[in-house]
Copies of this chain bind each other. A is one copy, B any other.
Amino acid sequence: MVHMNNRSGTETKKRILQVAAEVFAEYGYAEANMRLISRSAGISVGGLYLYFKDKEDLYLTLMNESLDYINQKTRDALKDTHDPIEAITSLITLSVNYAKTNRERILLQGRELGFSFGLEVKKKFFKERRRLIEEIIRDGVAKGVFRSCDPAEKAKIIFSLLRGFVVSIIIDDEALFAAEECLDLILNGLLK
Q: Contact residues of A with B, CB < 8 Å?
A: 28, 30-31, 88, 107, 110-114, 119, 122-123, 126-127, 130, 137, 140, 144-147, 149-150, 153-154, 156-165, 167-168, 170-172, 174-178, 181-182, 184-192
Q: Tell me how far the C-beta of A163 lies from the nearest C-beta in chain B, rounded to whole angstroms.
A: 4
Tell me the bound Cα distance from A107 to B115 in angstroms.
12
Copies in the complex: 2
Q: Would B171 and A114 count as touching, CB distance under 8 A?
A: yes
Tell me the bound Cα distance from A119 to B158 in angstroms.
26
Q: Would B164 and A160 count as touching, CB distance under 8 A?
A: yes
Q: Tell me how far the C-beta of A63 lies from the nearest C-beta in chain B, rounded to whole angstroms.
A: 14
Tell me the bound Cα distance from A76 to B175 in angstroms.
25
Q: Would A171 and B122 count as touching, CB distance under 8 A?
A: yes
Q: Which residue of B lies closest to A114 (CB)?
A: B111
Q: Which one of B123, B145, B170 lies within 8 Å of A172 (CB-CB)?
A: B123
Q: Which one of B119, B146, B158, B190 lies within 8 Å of A191 (CB-CB)?
A: B146
Q: Would B153 and A191 count as touching, CB distance under 8 A?
A: no
Q: Would A114 and B122 count as touching, CB distance under 8 A?
A: no
Tell me the bound Cα distance from A110 to B167 in angstroms.
10
Tell me the bound Cα distance from A114 to B31 in angstroms.
11
Q: Would B181 and A189 count as touching, CB distance under 8 A?
A: no
Q: Which residue of B lies closest to A173 (CB)?
A: B123
Q: Would B175 and A126 count as touching, CB distance under 8 A?
A: yes
CB within 8 Å for A192 and B113 given contacts A160-B168, A167-B164, A177-B153: no
Q: Tell me how far the C-beta of A118 lies from the nearest C-beta in chain B, rounded to whole angstroms.
A: 11
Q: Tell me how far the C-beta of A89 lies from the nearest C-beta in chain B, rounded to whole angstroms.
A: 12
Q: Which one of B88, B110, B176, B186 lies within 8 Å of A185 (CB-CB)?
A: B186
Q: Tell me how far the C-beta of A154 lies from the nearest C-beta in chain B, rounded to whole angstroms.
A: 6
Tell me the bound Cα distance from A174 to B182 in angstroms.
23
